[in-house]
Structure 1
């Protein structure tokens, strides 16, 4: 195993762990404060974007060079609005409406969509293993939503919609910025993506007031807000950065620890309880992603190109 691959593995495992932790922290904030999804996102995206770009500037990296190339900044804006903002908003709304574990599992459906996208793009029918994995993943979603009873659906329609949007957003921000990252590096792309997404969200929510929100926070809730921002931001940098060294399929496989971390933290810290069939559904989704990632080395090579 070469040094670059080891670095990629370390990045995706660390990023997946941090993302698995960040979900329960965000859920705790929703339970303990009056903060909304939009408020949280504005704070996270603006502060994280400014911090990342500031660090890059201090390290003498030219953070504005990308704006000299129209094709590049057009792709960057698409990533910021559709990928960064879309995925994060859908994920956080799913956390707010349901819980962190459900949001993480919906996000984990991304590899299924990636498999379908790659098959369509390269006009290659899914293999038997891929088709079986997709069926298993869909079965997992069924159990997650219904807990085994179609007459007693656990999740609301809104939660299901935002959960599916989370999966779509995950797929987009995994595939779309690959060429940008290869040329500019993940910190720059993530930094600008977060800052642009935060600015767009702020313009759409002019009632937001940081000072008014700060008055409602205690030391404990402020600390947890910082941890949520830090863990979520670093996980994005590490996850997207790992794509420089690993294929999209490989990152999907290794990120399977996300729901496991989220379940452990939610049960031990938030005292969440889950139905037996829901846990089975979550396990089926993880198994499906692993099955998709392991045997198809050819698709992994395609994803790198």
Structure 2
């Protein structure tokens, strides 16, 4: 195995593992503090955004050029608010009101929604493999929500709503900034997206107060918050870095370990329990993503696996 390919495999597996672990850590943080989804996200987005942009600036990359083009920065703001902030908020709120595994599995429906969107946009029926992916995803969602029976729905209406919004948000997150990323690079767009999203959330949350944040955090919970921010940022860096050495198909396939890691950590650390049909639903959703990574042509099907949702 070439050293570059080995490095790529290590990076994507590390990135997917860190993201899978971050969900249960966020759940633990909510269980041990009075933090809301908004207060957590303000800190997470601002710190991560500043960190990424500062790293780019000190490595002599052009982070301000996009602001010279009105059509580009308008699209950047739309992405920041609806894509970055929208997807992140829906994901974190799903963790808050249900659990980390459920949120991660709903996130994995994003590539399936992209497949459906592209088929409608191009007025072309999905391929057999893509159709199997959609069927597997719908079946998985049914089992995840109902545990096998509509009469015994496991998730609350609020959890289902935010779970669906998570899938939609991550699909939008992937599709909308495609031209911006091609022009300015993924890291620049995501860095600004995090910073702008954090600023918008802070300004829109009039009850937000840093003294309340300081009051609710202990040494252990503050340490956990710092670890979550660091692991989330590193997972993004590793994921993006792996694309230099691996194909989108390979990264999409290997990123499927995220919900598996989240499930293992949640069961062993948080003592979460899941019904047999829910676990089957999770397997179906992961299978759907695997179907989408089966190469046909380097078309939109590969884009569906590139959900750089870190």
TM-score normalized by structure 1?
A: 0.91
Shift of 1:13: 3.2
User: Which residue pairs with 1:224 in the alignment?
Assistant: 224
Give the Cα separation in 2 of the matches to 1:211 and 1:261: 34
User: Which residue pairs with 1:253 in the alignment?
Assistant: 253
Q: Deviations over 1:230-274 (max 9, x none)?
A: 122333344456667777665433321110110111111111111
Is contact 2:292–2:301 with CA below 8 Å preserved after alignment?
Answer: no
Aligned pairs for 1:58-137 (under 5 A) are 58-137=58-137
User: Which residue pairs with 1:169 in the alignment?
Assistant: 169
Compute the RMSD of aligned alpha carbons: 2.4
Is contact 1:101–1:266 with CA below 8 Å preserved after alignment?
Answer: yes
1:215 is paired with a residue whose SS is helix
User: Which residue pairs with 2:281 in the alignment?
Assistant: 281
Give the Cα separation in 2 of the matches to 1:4 and 1:181: 24
Deviates more, 1:9-18 or 1:271-280: 9-18
Give the Cα separation in 1 of the matches to 2:96 and 2:105: 14
Deviates more, 1:154-163 or 1:227-236: 227-236
Give the Cα separation in 1 of the matches to 2:166 and 2:251: 17
TM-score normalized by structure 2?
A: 0.90
Give the Cα separation in 2 of the matches to 1:197 and 1:285: 29
Is contact 2:293–2:301 with CA below 8 Å preserved after alignment?
Answer: no
User: Which residue pairs with 2:180 in the alignment?
Assistant: 180
| 1:132–1:234 distance in 2 versus 1, CA, 3 Å | same
Give the Cα separation in 1 of the matches to 2:29 and 2:15: 21
Is contact 2:249–2:295 with CA below 8 Å preserved after alignment?
Answer: no
Deviates more, 1:230-239 or 1:143-152: 230-239
Shift of 1:302: 7.1
| 1:86–1:119 distance in 2 versus 1, CA, 3 Å | same
Unaligned runs of 5+ in 2: 305-310
2:61 is paired with a residue whose SS is coil
User: Which residue pairs with 1:190 in the alignment?
Assistant: 190
